[in-house]
Each structure stands twice: as C-alpha cells, then as structure tokens.
Amino acid sequence: MTTEPIILEMRSITKEFPGVKALDRVSLTVKAGEIHSICGENGAGKSTLMKVLSGVYPYGTYEGDIIFQGSECRFKDIKSSEAAGIVIIHQELALIPELSITENIFLGNEPRGRFGNIDWVVAKKTAIELLARVGLADDPDTQIKNLGVGKQQLVEIAKALHKSVKLLILDEPTAALNEADSQHLLDLILGLKGRGIASIMISHKLNEIEKISDEITIIRDGKSIETLNIQADGVNEDRIIRGMVGRTLENRFPDRNSKIGEVFFEVKNWTVQHPLTAERMVVKNSSFSVRRGEVVGFAGLMGAGRTELAMSIFGRSYGTFISGQVFMNGKEIQLRNVAEAIENGLAYVSEDRKALGLNLLDDIKESVVSAKLSKISRGQVIDKVKEHNIAEEYRKSLRIKTPTVQEGVNKLSGGNQQKVVLAKWMFTDPDLLILDEPTRGIDVGAKTEIYGIIRDLAAQGKGVIMISSELPELLGVSDRILTIFEGAITNDIPASEADPETLMRSMTSSKKKVTQP
C-alpha cells in the first residue's frame, strides 16, 4: 500500500432527486498523484458523484463533505471547483467547433493586454507549450472542427493544464476513440500522473481501467461498494464485473445456438465515394456475403469505413454511390433509399442511438413502430390499440425496464434505449439486421442481454451483421469475422479460428488474406 497523502476525500455524499436517491452515503478517497477509476453500471451514480465534486450540483443540494487538499470545499459552481484545481472533462466535449485550438484553450480565461484586449501573442505561445505537453503537433490556429475526436480530447486536456489542474476528472474519455488514440490518451494520463496530477477516470472499458488505474472504487445502485487496490488486491476484469453487478457473470457470451444455412445476402464490388470530397473512396470494391442464421462481425478501427459501408448499403444513407450490386436470395435488388431497404428486409441499428436511432421526444410505443407504421395502420390511419399491444410485447420479450410503454424514451437508460431501438427494427421483420456498435455506452448487464437478443435473432434464421470496436465481443458473438482497413475488406475468418492478434493485424494493414497455416 502506498502512503501517499490524500488529496481528495468525499465523505458520505448523499444526493436526492425528487423520488430517487441517486447517491446514498458514497465515500471516495483519492491519493495524490494516483489514477483512481470509478466503475459501475449505467445509472449507478458515477456521473452524479462527479457532478457533486465539480460543483455542477452546488453545495447545499447534497449532504456530506468534500475535503480537497486538506480543507473543506463548498463549491457553488464549476468555476469555483476549477479555481481549486479540479477540472472535469465530459464525455461530450465542450469545445467550440468554429474556433481555433488557441481560442478554445483560452476561452473564458483569455490573457489580457494593456487595454483589456486579448493578448494573442502570449496566448499562442502558451498554447504551443501546452500542446507540446499533451503531444499534439497541430497548428494552434487549426479550427476544432478539423480535428478528429482523439485530438479534440487532447485539446481539452491542454485546456485543463492551463487551468493548473491538480485533479483531472475524465468521464468516458476513450468512448469515442479508436485503439491508437485511446492508447495515446492513456499514456498521457500516466504521464500526468508522473507530474503529480491525480486523475479520476470513469470508463466502461474495463481492460483500460485495469491497465492504468492504481485504485478502483466500485459504485452500485448509488452506494459505494468497495475500493480495490489494483496491485495489492490482484484485480482483474472479472473481479471488477463481480463488484459492479454484485454477481459473477459466468458467461458473458451466449451459446451459438443457430443453424447456419445457405448464403442469402450478397454484396458485390461495393464502392462509395465520400459525400464531400470527390475521388476519396471510403468503401473500395468490397464484396461479402451473409448466410441465414449467421452473425457476421465487422472489425475495423475508427474511420476504416465500417459504418460507411453499412449505411451506404442501407438505402444509400451515406456518401455517393459509385458502383456495386446487392443480391437477396440470388436476385439483384435495388436499394436507392431507406424505404426500399426496409421493404427488402434490411434493418440498420445505428451506432449513435440518440442522434440517429431515436426521436427522444417520442414515447416507447411510438418509437417501436416508427420504422414500419404501415404494419399497424389501415390506409393511413394508425391503430393505436395495436401499437400499444405490440410495444407491450416487446417490452416483455426484451425486458425493457419501464413502468409503461407510454414512458418517454429520453427517460430510459442507455441499455434500455438500445433495446427499444432493437425492438423498432425487429418490428420491421427484417431478414438482415445490421447492428452498428450495438453495445456502445451501455453497462455490462445490458450488454449480455443484447448479446442474447442477437443470438436469438440468428436462431430465428435471420442474418446479422455486427459492427464493433470491441474485439472480445466480436469473438464472443460472431460466427465469422470480416476485417476492414481503409475501406476495403482485408480478411474473412471464422470466429473459432480468430484471435485478437490476427484480427488486429488485418485491421491495420492492407495485406490481402493473411493465410492461415
């Protein structure tokens, strides 16, 4: 056990919302210069705890004490917590896309010249220094909108460094990053640790947590369950999961119970151009097929063209169609728009359920039927009794946790929202379901349920394409895995013969067909 001094102590924090106790006497102790992770299912109270700490919920709206660097703190807003040296970086980055890196770093904190004007010379010089510290080589005049998410994350950290941060809070920092960017970010956090900056990290990616944390506090149902020391307690992923769900997930992946039939869906020589940049092909001459009852995994890094491939097939929802054919049951079909794609038995569950998958103003029943209203209407008139009963059926069969199907979808947790989206597409009776990152941002328990649903769909004889950034999930659920690199399919291997190393190799090089010995 380290004997580092304690930098932060949160004592018996209780936070109530009308009717709900979000935090119930939660305690958290962070030592100076350590990386402390907070784990818990969605809805466990992690974000609420961080909002209490950063002053989003001001002093007086919660019970308990916050002691930071030896003195009790009563933050009344984010500004006062930042003044104390606590900076939170949210999952959704708070940068302004139209402004430059420098302007963003100094936003609200601009160095002043003699007449109260902004001293851009000083600002730019400082910005270059800060960018060097986070390992970002871009021109500080670059507009944020021209940076990838990974680099934007680094700008956020540079901004925090400028505020002379002592405790950095990162909420799901790697959720939107690819492997390489994630690695870079994690290295950076370790580097900050070397310079004495403590970090609190919230993440669903348990392997990352295991890799870089010193200690882990597990929160479940608004209560702090335990604090584990990675080295002393011999913590591994299974141990963390056990703490989070209160039980061991014996088997995170369901059995492959489906009978794989003949090929029914084929894509040949699919080529798609970037919507804005001509001559840039995001999908290059790709061909693949799906069999009945088969789950085909699509592996590839961010930006490899997985989503672009899927969306362009689904009624040309992305980019400019250049060439290619789609065959269903041996017959060529035309998928010129989404309506035709749905009509031909395709379904696409998008990777961003809030922006692309759901109308957050709808309630559950309206969402479930929204992709095929014709199924519950006579002529143009909707049969609301049918609508209700169908939504009720899905609520029960998919175990969507909600009192009624009249509940608004914006009130559901991520996992339950995802189940609603799945129900919406199952309702269209598709033959082929394309699931784009179906478990992104949802907790471990719900993930297992989603895997079960995917395997059930396959068992019913449907074809499933699953796009995922998580290799264990691809290996655990798919029957066959295709790898994509720079818009082209680079490998096609049965899941039983695949391993993470092989996949990663095909995902990062264009060498065709790594031959198996």
The residues binding other proteins (CB under 8 A) are 17-20, 22, 42-48, 51, 61, 90-92, 171, 221, 314-315, 317, 337-339, 341-342, 348, 350, 354-363, 366, 370-374, 377, 380-382, 384-385, 388-389, 392, 401-404, 406-407, 410-414, 416, 424
Beta strand extents in 40-166 (DSSP E only): 63-68, 71-72, 86-89
Considering the complex, what minimum distance in angstroms separates the CB of residue 77 from other proteins? Answer: 13
Minimal distance, residue 436 CB to other proteins, in Å: 11
**Residue in the block written with tokens 């499933």:** 464
Instruction: Provide, rounded to whole angstroms, the least separation between the CB of residue 477 and other proteins.
Output: 23
Residue number with CB closer to other proteins (232 or 361): 361
State which residue, 325 or 389, has the beta carbon closest to other proteins: 389
Smallest gap from Cβ 162 to other proteins, in A, equals 23
Compute the radius of gyration of the chain from its Cα atoms: 25
Task: Give residue for tokens 């699953």.
Answer: 466
Cβ(480)–Cβ(289) below 8 Å = no
Nearer to other proteins, 47 or 271 (CB): 47
Distance of CA 381 to CAs 262, 326, 371, 387, Å?
Answer: 39, 34, 15, 12
Residue number with CB closer to other proteins (293 or 315): 315
Q: Which is nearer to other proteins, 140 or 438 (CB)?
A: 438
Nearest CB to other proteins, comparing residues 418 and 490: 418
Max intra-chain CA distance, the chain? 76
Q: Least CB distance from residue 192 to other proteins, whole Å?
A: 23
Cα–Cα distance, 106 to 120 (Å, whole number): 10
30 Cβ contact partners less than 8 Å away, ≥ 6 residues apart: 6, 7, 8, 9, 36, 167, 198, 200, 215
- Tell me the β-bridge partners of 298: 467, 482
In the sheet that holds 198-202, the strands lie side by side as 86-89, 167-171, 198-202, 35-39, 215-220, 223-229
Indicate the residue among 314 and 451 with the shorter CB distance to other proteins.
Answer: 314
Residue written as token pair 């190799």: 505
**Which residue's entry shows tokens 């992770």?**
37
Residue showing tokens 């030592």: 31
DSSP H helices, 174-236, are: 179-194, 206-212, 230-233
**How far apart are CB 217 and other proteins at their closest, in Å?**
16
Please state the closest distance from residue 168 (CB atom) to other proteins, in A.
17
Measure the CA–CA gap between 155 and 134, rounded to whole angstroms.
Answer: 8
Handedness of CA 415, 421, 425, 426 (dihedral sign): positive
**In sequence order, which residues have a C-beta less than 8 Å from that of residue 399 and are 6 or more positions away?**
419, 449
Q: Cβ of residue 210: shortest distance to other proteins, in angstroms?
A: 23
> Is the CB of 125 or the CB of 401 nearer to other proteins?
401
Q: Which is nearer to other proteins, 52 or 495 (by Cβ)?
A: 52
φ and ψ of 263, to 5 deg = -65, 130
Residue (88 or 235) nearer to other proteins, CB? 88
Task: Provide the minimum distance between the beta carbon of 156 and other proteins in the complex, in angstroms, as a whole number.
Answer: 15
Supply the minimum distance, in Å, between the C-beta of residue 15 and other proteins.
Answer: 9
Complex with other proteins: residue 67 or 225, whichever CB lies closer: 225
DSSP codes of every residue in 355-390? III--TTSBHHHHHHTT-GGGGEETTEE-HHHHHHH
Query: Hey, which bits of 165-319 come out as E strands?
Result: 167-171, 198-202, 215-220, 223-229, 263-273, 281-291, 295-299
- State the nearest-atom distance from the C-beta of 490 to other proteins, in Å: 28
